[in-house]
Structure 1
Amino acid sequence: MTQTPASATDTGGTAVVSNDRGLSSPTWTAIPPVLRVSAALGWRFLVVVASLYVIGVVLGRLASLVVPLAIALLLAALLAPAVGFLLSRRFPRGLATVVVLVGGLAALGGLLTFVVTTFVNGVPELAAQLVRSVDAVSGWLVNGPLHLSDSQLREFADRFVKTLRDNPSGITSSAITTAATVGEILVEMVLVLFALAFFLYDGPRIWQFLIRVVPAGPRRRVDVAGRRSLAALVSYVRATGAVAVVDALGIGVGLAVLGVPLAVPLAAVVFIGAFVPIFGAVVAGGVAVLIALVANGPVTAAIVLVIVIAVNQLESHVLQPFLLGRAVKLHPLAVVLAIASGLLVAGIAGALLAVPLLAVLNSAIRSLRSEADEHVAPADVHTSEPEESGPDEPGLDTEADTETRSR
């Protein structure tokens, strides 16, 4: 049986295409190449978008489980070097995990207790200053360019009180929702502690168990990429923690020198906000400026604003590039888009986890695309001491180095 050629020309001169069964189709060549390529890219793009959507829906349904596990992983990346340090001093792994976990919880509990106590003690002073500020604003509204009357101000206040009085059901439902949220948070905190303990104690074996689902062929490359990603996560958490400490000290000392009330709680807010790059610093600095405006007036608020801008510039141009290094270097636009997407998809938790996830994906993809990492053994990747240069960049591994290690 003679096979029909792949392409031919009919008697009328029309180009046709024949498949291996001898069936010619002039329609295929009639489609412009641009349209064929666009259609091929289009349906693949739709498949990728649909897959991401399904993954997003599943993760959204399991948010109460996924978010605590992600936070536990971030804390494990922060505390794992301490566990490694104790192991190098011949501590048993179980004892090292308990010491680090208990020590971390004690430090965190002491810090929260100090912040809450300071905040509670400073609230009366702030409330009194707020009353004085409201009186000053009311006087400006009456005697200033607006020339509002006392009756108009009282009418506005009465409307506000009436709104609160007429919506008791909404206030009650909000209180119930808040109570339920507090219960969920407590349960999730227990899950975070439980997962954190096992990540610190049994992290390597958990990773080896997970890597077994990968086919044997690419398993080594995936193992190396995963270790690179963990190194990037450790580097990110370390650097972000150091930046948060510097931000909190800089702004907190400035607030204390200027005599702004609640300087310590505001410094704690700045510390927490620093874990959400760009947006967190702006929001925390805005809160500090607002309280300075209410408590000490516009001049002090302007000085606080200058301090916040100076600290943010120090963070953006010195601390972030120096501490994060090239291993997890991300473009500012990518950071902004990641935080905005995380905020839209999962709220505050999404904004907190978006940049670490982006850093992990960036490191994994670069490792999988790196020719140098093809010859790197997983045991040679040190997750606790990430390298300053990433895969496919000068200074990571030369071919001679990787060949020597593979031997």
Structure 2
Amino acid sequence: MNTVEKLELMEEDVPPRMAEEQRIQDDVPWGIRIAAAWSWRVIIILLFAGVLIWLLSHISLLLIPLLVAALLATLLRPLHNLFVKWKFPRVVAAITTLLVLIGFVAGLLWLVGQQLVEGFADMASQVTAGLFELVTLAEETAAGFGIELSTDQINQGLEEGLTYLQDNSETILGGAMAIGSTAGNIVVGGILALFTLIFFLADGRKIWDFLVFFAPGKHRPAIHGAGRRGWTALGSYMRVQVFVAAVDAVGIGIGAALLGVPLALPVAVLVFLGSFIPIVGAVVTGAVAVILALVANGLGNALLMVGVVLLVQQIESNILQPIVMGKAVRLHPLAVILAVTAGTTLLGIVGALFAVPVLAFVTRAARYLVKEEWRGDPEAKEMEKLEKEEAIKRAAQKEVHEAEEQASLANITRRLKETIPGLDPEKRGFGRRGDAPEGHLTRTETHTAAGTRPHPDADHAGEDHGQAGPARHDSRHDSRHDDEGGRA
């Protein structure tokens, strides 16, 4: 039989339904089958991610303080280690680090408050003059396009705006109350973040070991190494981002001060905070300096301020991001922009703040797992060795425990057999009816040996009275047998 005939016979043996499915698979191209197989898996992943994001959005009051505490812990870890090196207990070192942070923020806010109080008093006349200049500029620009725009029309527009605000005062009041509720949530979240920060600094390693404990034993070294690498990348990102934010704040603040823009220090602080949103943060907060320059000093000064902001932004994008940030976390600028956009779309300003740090952590941890770096990681190897030793120890303890249980069960069984001899098949003290103890003859054997016949009611008497019945009957029969022997 040749090969063709064998194939024909195999096709004849295939059930019709399987043959039909095979023909359908043969008709569908291989690429489409692969795409379909990937599609339903991607859909499941997206659904899971959507449910996860929905859950996270409903526990934001708990999640955001934890993320803030984690970021601050990575940033303040060197200072905490310094206090520990100075023989501070870990909890005391954590509290001291927190007090240093609170003192720095309080001092900065005091300086900003002083600048705001003094700046608003000096800026009132500048703002008034700037507004008149803007009105004049608007009239001249409108006249250049053939549009008549007078001061009365501008005043009328302002009056309409005030009327609109008065008519919608309830809506505005509701918004103000919502802002007040948000402010309350911010206060509660801030307290929770500071409280959590103490434990992250003092017992961060213990908390991480507790979380890793829930992973399967054979995967713990890899998960531990990935988390450690991600945490290191997150700390590097935070320290580099603080440096970049400081450069942005100093650059824009010095530019605003040189151009005579009011509130230069508050603007610098605002730029510093906004720069934690990479690439776009410094531009958005720098726009505040441009607006202040436009209102206080006119259009020419505002254009110069725009030039300062763009110059600082170019330094950040072309020098600081590739050289400093790239070595720390290795994130492409496009990935950063997409992460910030996605975070803003999903969770607003909070998503914009935490998108890049989370991306940095996940990217480094994923690279560690994909490249199987734990196989050459000394700490992971040591942890794997300890896991194996623990597994051997647990197996030995399990064997000892099972042996103890078996010994205990055997001891209990022995005591029961000693207490109730009938439970022991090797002893016949309380055996079944008809089973006489060893060394004793049964009733039938006794009569057979004596050459006599048993009494016809003996069996019934034995059934009614248990083991004692036959014994009594045997006694009476033996007495009778002795009397007959004597008479004989």
Q: TM-score range by the shorter chain?
A: 0.7 to 0.9
1:48-127 equivalence runs, <5 A: 48-127=45-124
* CA offsets 1:320-369 (integer angstroms, 9 cap, x no match): 23323434010111100000000011111100000000000100000001
> For residue 18 of structure 2, what is the aligned residue in structure 1?
24
> For residue 232 of structure 1, what is the aligned residue in structure 2?
233
* CA offsets 1:197-242 (integer angstroms, 9 cap, x no match): 1101110100000001110111101100000000000000000001
Residue 355 of structure 1 aligns to a residue in which SS? Answer: helix
> For residue 268 of structure 1, what is the aligned residue in structure 2?
269
Is contact 1:239-1:320 (8 Å) kept?
no
More deviation in 239-248 or 91-100?
91-100
Which 4+ residue blocks in structure 1 deviate beyond 6 angstroms?
13-18
Task: Report the Cα offset of residue 376 of structure 1.
Answer: 0.7
1:221 pairs with 2:222: yes
Measured in 2, the distance between the counterparts of 1:111 and 1:311 equals 22
Measured in 1, the distance between the counterparts of 2:157 and 2:248 equals 40
Task: Report the Cα offset of residue 259 of structure 1.
Answer: 1.4
* CA offsets 1:16-70 (integer angstroms, 9 cap, x no match): 977xxx9734224423123322221111011110111111111111111111110
Alignment CA distance shift 1:69-1:376 (3 Å): same
Residue 91 of structure 1 aligns to a residue in which SS? Answer: coil
Is contact 1:327-1:363 (8 Å) kept?
no
Structure 1 unaligned spans of 5+: 1-7, 382-407
Higher RCO structure (Cα 8 Å, ≥6 apart) = 1
Letter in 2 for 1:48: I
> For residue 356 of structure 2, what is the aligned residue in structure 1?
355
Measured in 2, the distance between the counterparts of 1:327 and 1:250 equals 23
**CA RMSD between the two structures:** 2.3
More deviation in 82-91 or 355-364?
82-91
Measured in 2, the distance between the counterparts of 1:45 and 1:192 equals 35
Give the one of 33, 37, 51 matched to 2:34: 37
Letter in 2 for 1:152: Q
Residue 348 of structure 2 aligns to a residue in which SS? Answer: helix
Is contact 1:141-1:147 (8 Å) kept?
no
Is contact 2:221-2:380 (8 Å) kept?
no
Measured in 1, the distance between the counterparts of 2:251 and 2:136 equals 35
More deviation in 125-134 or 113-122?
125-134
Is contact 1:273-1:281 (8 Å) kept?
yes
Give the one of 124, 130, 134 matched to 2:131: 134
Q: Which has the higher helix share?
A: 2
Task: Report the Cα offset of residue 14 of structure 1.
Answer: 7.0
Is contact 1:229-1:360 (8 Å) kept?
yes
Is contact 2:233-2:328 (8 Å) kept?
yes
Alignment CA distance shift 1:130-1:24 (3 Å): same
Is contact 1:73-1:199 (8 Å) kept?
yes
> For residue 449 of structure 2, what is the aligned residue in structure 1?
none
> For residue 163 of structure 1, what is the aligned residue in structure 2?
164
Alignment CA distance shift 1:175-1:17 (3 Å): farther
Residue 216 of structure 2 aligns to a residue in which SS? Answer: coil
> For residue 258 of structure 1, what is the aligned residue in structure 2?
259
Measured in 2, the distance between the counterparts of 1:141 and 1:241 equals 41
Measured in 1, the distance between the counterparts of 2:214 and 2:20 equals 46
More deviation in 319-328 or 223-232?
319-328
The structure having more radius of gyration, on CA atoms, is 2
Aligned pairs, number: 370
Task: Report the Cα offset of residue 380 of structure 1.
Answer: 9.3
Is contact 2:256-2:305 (8 Å) kept?
yes
Alignment CA distance shift 1:264-1:36 (3 Å): same
Residue 277 of structure 1 aligns to a residue in which SS? Answer: coil
The TM-score, its normalising length taken from structure 1, stands at 0.85
1:206 pairs with 2:207: yes
Letter in 2 for 1:248: A
> For residue 289 of structure 2, what is the aligned residue in structure 1?
288
Is contact 1:254-1:307 (8 Å) kept?
yes
Between the aligned residues of both structures, percent identity stands at 38
Is contact 1:288-1:304 (8 Å) kept?
yes
1:314-353 equivalence runs, <5 A: 314-353=315-354
Residue 90 of structure 1 aligns to a residue in which SS? Answer: coil
Alignment CA distance shift 1:25-1:254 (3 Å): same
Task: Report the Cα offset of residue 82 of structure 1.
Answer: 1.1
Is contact 1:14-1:26 (8 Å) kept?
no
